[in-house]
Structure 1
Amino acid sequence: MVEPLLVLGVLVAMFVAYNIGGSTTGPAFGPAVGAGAISKTGAAALMGVFFFAGAWTIGRNVVTKLGEELVVDPGVFTLEASITVLFFIGIALLVGNVFGVPASTSMTAVGAIAGLGLAGDVLDSGVMGEIIVWWVVSPIIGFWVSLIIGRYFYARLNRMVAMERSTGPLLDIDRSGLVPIPRTHETTNRRELIGTITVVAIGCLMAFSSGTSNIANAVAPLVGSGELAMNPAIIFGGVAVAVGAFTIARRTLETMGSDITELPLTAAIVVAGVSSTLVVFLSALGIPASFVVIATMSIVGLGWGRATRPMAVSDVVSDADAPPVTVDALAADEEGEQLPPIGEEDPEDIPRAGDLFDPATTARVVLMQNVVPAIATVGAYLTFQFVPVFGF
């Protein structure tokens, strides 16, 4: 007979996963839906499939890290403790939503588990230190990679993925044979096809990266308790995420309300690509990565790189009389048109940093991304330390 408390724990975990599906589908596939490259239903289906793929493959590394390695004695993950940890994850994320800040689910989950570990004096300081170091380093990497892309490669990327919508549908279905075959519509141009494929592929990468990192935030406490095996936990979490993608995510897809999807399409692709790649890399190491924090710094780096493009590198690192470095002038685009050299562009054509990120909003986001996990950590610690039922 299944213990009722375990059923409650699974339901709470699935509720957390349900909200993860609702909150991450928009940032992942918002650009594709907004560009008309895919429908909301198609976006939800791809979110469910690729989230599960990321969770089933690389995601179990993060589940193990949080559920078994972050605390030296996984025995502290009783069913009561696991449900309480998930409760604080949900409450802390609610605080972020109230303030309109996309809080980091991974940082919040680690904070709640760390509070449990501190109260029970079983927190592994070495593992916690490793996680914190990567939390500091990964946004810096995202910032500099995006800055370089923004300064030297953004114009070329923009030409490659710019969506030029044709009058007809993107694809036709050839039903002449036994198996229907999709074919490019006669009015579809090459750039439209490339742009569509790129923006949908980036959404799939984001969904996969979300699965590699976020599945642990929903199921790691239960897996750590030993009451729920890894594979069933991932299946429960994946199903809940898919349900969230098909239901509450439709509104976020419609309003395009996240910081990532409010960017120009090319900028959204850059930020999503850089952030997702870093998240997958960290998940492979078992590090619960914060996509929100990395993406925020990637936006800042991309805006900074675009804003400094009219200034030649030599003007920054050398004397003003040195000839400008014209990296882009060495390459032509697909139509043979020479790109303007750095330092010789029309400043009116170059967005300033403030066009891609608002410093005040960025400061508020960074502040809340630290406050929300702190709420989870302190709340969990005080509860496990002073509520007699836990016996710590």
Structure 2
Amino acid sequence: MTSSPRRRAGPVPLLSAGHACVDVYQGSIAALVPFFVAERAYPYAAAAGLVLAASLLSSVAQPLFGVLTDRWAMPWLLPVSTLAGGVGVALCGLTDQYAPTLVVVAFSGLGVAAYHPEAARVARIAGRGSHTSMGWFSLGGNLGFATSPLLVSAVVATGGLAASPLLVLPAVAGALLSTAALRSMKRRTPPGAGASRVSPGRDDWASFARLSGAIACRSVVFVGLGTFLALYAPERVGGGAAVGAAALFVLYLGGAVGTVAGGRLATRFGRLRVVRWSYALTAPAVAGIVFVPGPALFVFAAATSIGLSVPFSLHITLGQDYLPRRPGTASGVTLGLAVSVGGVAGPLIGALADSTSLHTALTPLIALPGLGRLVLRPLREPARPEDRAGPVEG
């Protein structure tokens, strides 16, 4: 009778909830794009540049933070970086100038970059290497993505971009949740546990590079659709900004289903098999978004989201197992590429849309899941550090 409440208050649920609060700020920049276009008359390329500003810094900073967490445990980064991510987004609506907006959006991206490598390391320790536990941790991030367009729409559609300071509230909640999770882990960890930070095994950089290449393909699709689906959906379905926000919500919410399913499927069928099939099945779903008109777009958006999100937590653990001596570096690269590479491609998609149409600009995204599947084909399942050390609960 007493174990259930303790389990609900354990570190993994708290870390998952804190992850949701952080990833609100990954999804919020894309959700703000239609408002920047409408209120400030930004062209598509300039609006996509804001997504790039939030993600480009992460592409450099996130692996660097991963290297640091391989050398030193820095759990204090979780609440501090959560607050940094929220403050940057909160300030983005307070200036009409493009350059200061880029700066504060980039500051938010730096906060998000600092959070993920250490959070992934802590989550794996808290979950004792379980695929399911890492799936629950990743689920929090997907829920943050899913709720960000609704949160942004509720705040900005009512008060305009000048109401953006209200968007700092999830960061405050996330910082408190992260602090509670760390305290819970400290109470539950026996003295001397986790003293050895270097896992046995050899780093397989070639396999890790292939995995990273596949993640890059996934990233361009996810961030490209996340940036422009809110603008594209009204063209295909009809309606206004509410239709676009709904399509973005479906795209992000489907990720919650896919992330939980990914951990469970991997336990039964193996990580690489699940990841390969997910990439293969995503390509026709993306084609449905691009080519099928009407309300069916929402169905294809959900299918695309599930296909892209099933591998999400598996990418993290695969990367950590290909680089067992550098789990922070692995987390920094896999989680960093999941946002940054797509952000780099975003302005290119926007420039093509400005010169042609959104339909034409989104069409190349159809081929990328298939390319990712080909990149993954030669990989073999790596040994898990927990398996080398002995049986792990989960």
TM-score for the superposition, normalised by structure 1: 0.25
Q: Which has the higher helix share?
A: 2
> How does the TM-score come out when normalised to structure 2?
0.25
Largest Rg, 1 or 2:
1
| Greater length-normalized contact order (CA 8 Å, ≥ 6 residues apart) | 1
